[in-house]
Chain A
Amino acid sequence: DQQVKQNSPSLSVQEGRISILNCDYTNSMFDYFLWYKKYPAEGPTFLISISSIKDKNEDGRFTVFLNKSAKHLSLHIVPSQPGDSAVYFCAGSGSARQLTFGSGTQLTVLP
């Protein structure tokens, strides 16, 4: 089951630069997409979401872009900070509200 795919297992970025995390999906029934951040030994922490009828949502340093025709979304973090180093998961949510997660991308922000 690969309804949500994160093809980059890891990403390293210099502090202050932009981090771009990517996610692809196959399920056209998702009507919300969410990004979560996860530190070791903790549960996922909600970051930002976007409705499928929007193409952009911004919250502080975090912006999510949705390209429905390409079935692709991305999370931009600007500027990146060392505290942003974590595993980032994208997830799709359909009518039943269960979240279908990608496999995650380990972001490392280098000082």
Chain B
Amino acid sequence: EPEVTQTPSHQVTQMGQEVILRCVPISNHLYFYWYRQILGQKVEFLVSFYNNEISEKSEIFDDQFSVERPDGSNFTLKIRSTKLEDSAMYFCASSEALAGGEQFFGPGTRLTVL
């Protein structure tokens, strides 16, 4: 069964450093998303991506964040200068259709900012 994969599973970084989280969505999906879950809190939407551009972003997704689809398979989330409060689980998701389409989530990357 096709699945969304994410690497790395755990990333530890120093405050102020740049990190890139990687995702390989399901191959025939067209819509891609990043969510995050801070420990003990809800899963929160960050950004959605379609047709090589951002379609929606939340207030969390400020200028420190960027997304890219550098090739036909990878979808990345970059945090330019990490802060302590960026420590969270980051989930990538993809969906096939827009209307009502369920989103399939990857296993997540645990980001720890020291």
Contact = CB atoms under 8 A, between A and B. Distances in A.
B98 A43 contact: no
A45 B105 contact: yes
Contacts of B65: none
Interface of B: 4, 31, 33, 35, 41-45, 48, 55-56, 58, 91, 93, 95, 98, 100-108
26 contacts: A36-B105, A41-B107, A42-B107, A43-B4, A43-B105, A43-B108, A44-B91, A45-B105, A46-B103, A46-B104, A49-B102, A51-B100, A89-B43, A96-B56, A97-B98, A97-B103, A98-B33, A98-B45, A98-B48, A98-B58, A99-B103, A101-B42, A101-B43, A102-B42, A103-B42, A104-B42
Interface of A: 31-32, 34, 36, 41-46, 49, 51, 89, 93, 96-104
